[in-house]
């Protein structure tokens, strides 16, 4: 079993234990173990062989044993027994908003419900409302939740979520009562997909803001409305939470609601180690004794004392002995340790980008002409624009053969010489990697180009070994400059083809081939989780929009998000170099 498959089993165990009513900390231990495996930056087989599993934080004796068994046999008796003891319908019921393990257990114990369909029937017959702890409203909410389950569970690509969120944020900022407003959550962290939107507002008068938020025309449903918080659902199922705090608490709340959860847990533990308690309310001396309620009261009392020193997230991090951690890095993946040592990278920014390489025109399947694309690139202030239309094997995309490509090279040379644009056009191609790893165009024509992007567009069903060997063969071609969308994934739509990314990265480093961070919001491929380690190993990144029209050039912004999440600096990214630097790089390869 691969590490992600093993992580999936551990997560499944966690969920099942929760439904059994097990100790919540045990549940958390399994989920944490799954997460630790997912973020492991090496092969799990290596770690097992070298007996280092228990050195991974969150994995102890029991989990190490189970992971080893799963890796060796692909099965785990403990998991299978557990699965057999719980109806699969109960797990599915967890997807219904408002239903957690305890309520599902009660429904199962008292009404014998073990599937979503049975639950719907019981609600319709009014049997759920009659249960202790349930009522009419719970019953209605469950029914609505069942109806909308698919839409509610859906995640949304960052780009689309941002497009919904931005006008609302601007609207909030324009309200007279609002001192300041920000996005929080995974949107602010630049995650590739977003579950819901979080808006955070600092204000003194709250009611008018809540009122404005829940009465937007895009709102389909108001799911919660309190003094400091409101939740709504927009068309398409995207949910948004608004939270309002007094201005003095904004920095704490912004940090808290930006997350991630793992980052917050680590920050709170760090605070506790310093005798402080961190929450969205503030940073106050930790109370040793007393109930949760008393502690909260004590916190509120002492709140004002500390708050005046902390006006921003920068102050908050500083109070815990840390440099400022950009939101994109707050995933609990070592950013706190790096911030403590002052070793956080200076992350690449959109303004660092001086040009892009992988773009299409009407010559293949683009929707804008060469001149239109160059004009748009110039509008972005870029020094160069690379054109990489499809090659002939991508017949469906009107790919270019050798003769058409040569005509395009001549056309680009003429355009550059005309002086019509200050942005220089570089000649490239997105050359198909054929199923056996050969390239789709003659080497002679490839040598006439400034660069060659090699990409897989066919035979996705090959085995991992075949696909990996195929891509590596292409990387080893003397004309290959960069590897396009390395896994071919389409977010929320299609898994990538199976490929051993670690081996591909090794081959790219060895052959001085750059790997693309395809910035198309649907791709963001290679995934940000690989980049930190890959860059340390010397891999050169190139952020490419894969634009098929002038608007597609904007997508670089999404690629920047992903690059930042991958701890990349401008030095790691080829297209932060100016035209001379890029020409130098391409010549020396």
Partner DNA sequence: GCCGTTTTCGGCCCGACTGTTTTCAGTCG
Q: Which residues bind to DNA, rule: CB under 7 A?
A: 23, 25-26, 28-30, 32-33, 54, 56-64, 97-104, 129, 132-139, 141, 185, 195-196, 198, 224-229, 239, 241, 257, 261, 264-265, 268-269, 272-273, 277-281, 286, 288, 292, 295-296, 299
C-beta pairs of 322-326 under 8 Å, 24+ apart in sequence: 325/263, 326/564
Closer by beta carbon to DNA, 228 or else 369: 228
Closer by beta carbon to DNA, 63 or else 433: 63
Provide, rounded to whole angstroms, the least separation between the CB of residue 529 and DNA: 21
Provide, rounded to whole angstroms, the least separation between the CB of residue 170 and DNA: 22
Provide, rounded to whole angstroms, the least separation between the CB of residue 253 and DNA: 10
Residues pairing with 547 in the sheet: 359
Going by C-alpha positions, the residue among 475, 474, 485 that lies closest to residue 527 is: 485
Closer by beta carbon to DNA, 65 or else 512: 65
Closer by beta carbon to DNA, 174 or else 272: 272
Provide, rounded to whole angstroms, the least separation between the CB of residue 526 and DNA: 28
Rounded CA separation 74/81 (Å): 15
Closer by beta carbon to DNA, 198 or else 389: 198
Neighbour-count burial for 429-446, b at 16+ CB within 10 Å, e otherwise: bbbbbbeebebbbeeebb
Residues pairing with 573 in the sheet: 541
Closer by beta carbon to DNA, 83 or else 503: 83
Rounded CA separation 79/68 (Å): 14
Provide, rounded to whole angstroms, the least separation between the CB of residue 379 and DNA: 38
Closer by beta carbon to DNA, 28 or else 127: 28
Closer by beta carbon to DNA, 286 or else 350: 286
Provide, rounded to whole angstroms, the least separation between the CB of residue 146 and DNA: 13
Q: Report helix, strand or coil for 513.
A: coil
**10 Å Cβ neighbour count for 383?**
19
Radius of gyration of the chain (CA): 27
Provide, rounded to whole angstroms, the least separation between the CB of residue 103 and DNA: 3
What is the CA 19 to chain-centroid distance, rounded?
A: 28
The CA–CA distances, whole Å, from 461 to 464, 498, 583 equal 9, 8, 37
Provide, rounded to whole angstroms, the least separation between the CB of residue 98 and DNA: 5
Query: At residue 199, what are phi and psi to the nearest 5 degrees?
Result: -115, 135
Closer by beta carbon to DNA, 129 or else 459: 129
Provide, rounded to whole angstroms, the least separation between the CB of residue 406 and DNA: 55
Provide, rounded to whole angstroms, the least separation between the CB of residue 162 and DNA: 18
Rounded CA separation 530/524 (Å): 12
CA dihedral 451→454→457→462, nearest 10 degrees, is: 170
Contact status, residue 412 vs residue 428, Cβ threshold 8 Å: no
What is the DSSP code string of 232-262? EEEGGG-EEEEEEE-GGGHHHHHHHHH--HH
Task: Tell me the torsion sign for CA atoms 89, 91, 95, 101.
Answer: positive
Closer by beta carbon to DNA, 104 or else 514: 104
């Amino acid at each position: 079993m691969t590490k992600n498959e093993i992580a999936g089993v551990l997560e499944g165990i966690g969920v099942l234990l929760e439904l059994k009513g097990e100790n919540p900390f045990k549940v958390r231990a399994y989920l944490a173990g799954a997460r630790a495996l997912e973020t492991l930056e090496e092969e799990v087989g290596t770690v097992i062989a070298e007996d280092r599993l228990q050195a991974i934080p969150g994995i102890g004796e029991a989990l190490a044993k189970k992971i080893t068994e799963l890796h060796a046999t692909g099965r785990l008796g403990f998991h299978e027994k557990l699965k057999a003891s719980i109806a699969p319908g109960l797990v599915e019921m967890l997807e219904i908003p408002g239903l957690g393990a305890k309520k599902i257990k009660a429904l199962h114990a008292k009404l014998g419900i073990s599937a979503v369909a049975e639950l719907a029937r019981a609600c319709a017959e009014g049997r759920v409302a009659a249960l202790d702890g349930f009522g009419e409203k719970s019953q209605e909410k469950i029914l609505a939740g069942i109806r909308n389950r698919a839409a509610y569970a859906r995640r949304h690509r960052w780009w689309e979520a941002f497009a919904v969120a931005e006008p609302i944020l601007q609207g909030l900022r324009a309200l007279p009562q609002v001192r300041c407003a920000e996005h929080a959550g995974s949107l602010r962290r630049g995650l590739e997909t977003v579950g819901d939107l979080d808006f955070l507002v600092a204000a003194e008068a709250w009611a008018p803001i809540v009122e404005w938020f829940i009465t937007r025309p895009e709102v389909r449903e108001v799911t919660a409305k309190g003094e400091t918080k409101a939740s709504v659902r927009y068309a398409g199922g995207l949910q948004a939470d608004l939270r309002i705090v007094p201005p003095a608490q904004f920095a704490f709340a912004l940090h808290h609601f930006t997350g991630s959860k793992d980052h917050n847990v680590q920050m709170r533990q760090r605070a506790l180690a310093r005798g402080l308690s961190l929450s969205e309310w503030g940073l106050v001396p930790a109370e040793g004794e007393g109930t949760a309620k008393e502690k909260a009261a004590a916190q509120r009392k002492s709140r004002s004392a500390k708050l005046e020193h902390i006006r921003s997230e920068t102050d908050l991090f500083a109070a815990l002995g840390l440099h400022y951690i950009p939101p994109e890095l707050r995933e609990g993946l070592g950013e706190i340790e790096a911030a403590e040592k002052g070793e956080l990278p200076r992350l690449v920014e959109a303004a660092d980008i001086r040009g892009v390489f992988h773009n299409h025109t009407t010559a293949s399947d683009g929707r804008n002409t060469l001149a239109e694309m160059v004009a748009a690139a110039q509008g972005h202030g870029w020094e160069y624009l690379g054109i990489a239309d499809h090659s002939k094997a991508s017949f469906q995309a009107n790919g270019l053969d050798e003769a058409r490509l040569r005509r395009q090279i001549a056309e680009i040379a003429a355009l550059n010489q005309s002086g019509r644009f200050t942005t220089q056009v570089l000649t490239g191609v997105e050359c198909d990697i054929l199923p056996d790893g050969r390239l789709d165009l003659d080497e002679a024509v490839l040598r006439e180009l400034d660069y060659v992007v090699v990409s897989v567009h066919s035979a996705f069903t090959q085995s991992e070994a075949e696909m990996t060997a195929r891509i590596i063969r292409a990387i080893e071609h003397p004309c290959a400059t960069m590897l396009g969308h390395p896994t071919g994934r389409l977010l929320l739509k299609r898994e990538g083809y199976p490929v051993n990314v670690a081996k591909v990265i090794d081959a790219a480093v060895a052959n001085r081939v750059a790997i693309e961070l395809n910035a198309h919001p649907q791709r963001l491929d290679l995934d940000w989780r690989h980049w930190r380690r890959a860059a340390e190993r010397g891999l050169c990144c190139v952020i490419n929009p894969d634009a098929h029209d002038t608007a597609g050039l904007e997508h670089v912004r999404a690629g920047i998000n992903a690059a930042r999440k991958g701890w990349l600096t401008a030095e790691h990214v080829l297209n932060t170099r100016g035209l001379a630097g890029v020409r130098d790089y391409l010549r020396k390869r």
